[in-house]
Structure 1
Amino acid sequence: MKRGSRTMLYGLGLLVIVVLGAMAFVRLAPTNTAQWHSAPAPALWDQSSPWDQVVALTGAATLRLSDQKGPPAELLAKLDAIAMATPRTTRLAGSVADGMITWQTRSALWGFPDFTTAQIRPDGLYLHARLRFGTEDMGVNAKRLAAWLAAL
């Protein structure tokens, strides 16, 4: 085997090891439940934020469901069933009885975790979906919230 071919083979092997290591890190990194299962910050919604519409943000998305869609506790129960039927989604913490639930949804290939928290407030149900790693989610959180909204 020529020296150049051997060097390229070693480089390719190293690249495979690095990629597999990154995938393992993303899938196996521990999750701090307290960090992700927290009430969506009020600053995410201002007076001009629309009700019953998904708002895409950088690396995240928000949705406020008004009581016109139904009582917030009933919406949260329906949403929990919808979320749990979503592929690669698990309940991280909370319950309908608690008035707040956080779900974790992982991407199919890499297993990147995204977290969606829904909280009952006096004026409706507030949802905040956000990524854990990186700064850009390529719109997947907004698409997930839109799909959940359509399923309601």
Structure 2
Amino acid sequence: MAIVIGLIVFLAAGLAYVRLAPSDPAKWHRDVQINHDSNSENSVRRMVVTGSDGLAKFAEIAAQTPNTSVLAGSVEEGMITFITRTKVMGYPDYTTAIQDGELLKIFGRSRFGLKDFGVNAARVDGWIEAL
């Protein structure tokens, strides 16, 4: 019985960490070199020609997404990092968008796990489609 209780406490602590672990802007809000569109196991990179107001439009769209908030940055700064948490488990994903002239460069990635099952790509591509 003590093993079962220990396991439950261990799992609860792990879930609490995922939900409550601080998100350090110095780690997640940084300029990322994006030269082409790509997908990996737990991230996505996109480049979109949006005009000079692409970041402002993108920020409006992202802000309407449930469980999404600004971690750091602003339209005026030219770079914003959003944090989006999954509905049930609260896993954080980070999306950084950078205005580079007429291009909007977007990098979405997971904090935990080695595979995101395409969640970041689907979210970022949905935001791009809404532009």
After TM superposition, the score normalised by the length of structure 2 is 0.91
Distance (Å, rounded) in 1 between the aligned partners of 2:32 and 2:61: 20
Equivalent residue, structure 1, for 2:57: 78
Equivalent residue, structure 2, for 1:36: 28
Q: Is the 8 A contact 2:69 2:82 kept in 1?
A: yes
Letter in 1 for 2:111: R
Unpaired stretches in structure 1, ≥5 consecutive residues: 1-6
After TM superposition, the score normalised by the length of structure 1 is 0.79
1:16 aligns with 2:8: yes
Equivalent residue, structure 2, for 1:3: none
Question: In the TM superposition, what is the alpha-carbon distance from 1:92 to its structure 2 partner?
Answer: 0.6
Cα distance per residue 1:83-137 (max 9 Å; x no partner):
1110110001111111100000011111111100001113511000011112211
Count of aligned residue pairs for this structure pair:
131
Equivalent residue, structure 2, for 1:126: 105
1:103 aligns with 2:82: yes
Equivalent residue, structure 1, for 2:48: 65
Distance (Å, rounded) in 2 between the aligned partners of 1:56 and 1:92: 23
Q: Is the 8 A contact 2:93 2:110 kept in 1?
A: yes
Q: SS of 2:76's equivalent?
A: coil
> Aligned-residue CA RMSD in angstroms?
1.5
Q: Is the 8 A contact 2:51 2:102 kept in 1?
A: no
Greater C-alpha radius of gyration: 1
Q: Is the 8 A contact 2:54 2:99 kept in 1?
A: no
Distance (Å, rounded) in 2 between the aligned partners of 1:13 and 1:150: 47
Instruction: Give structure 1 regions of 4+ aligned residues with deviation exceeding 4 angstroms.
Output: none
Q: Percent identity?
A: 37
Unpaired stretches in structure 2, ≥5 consecutive residues: none
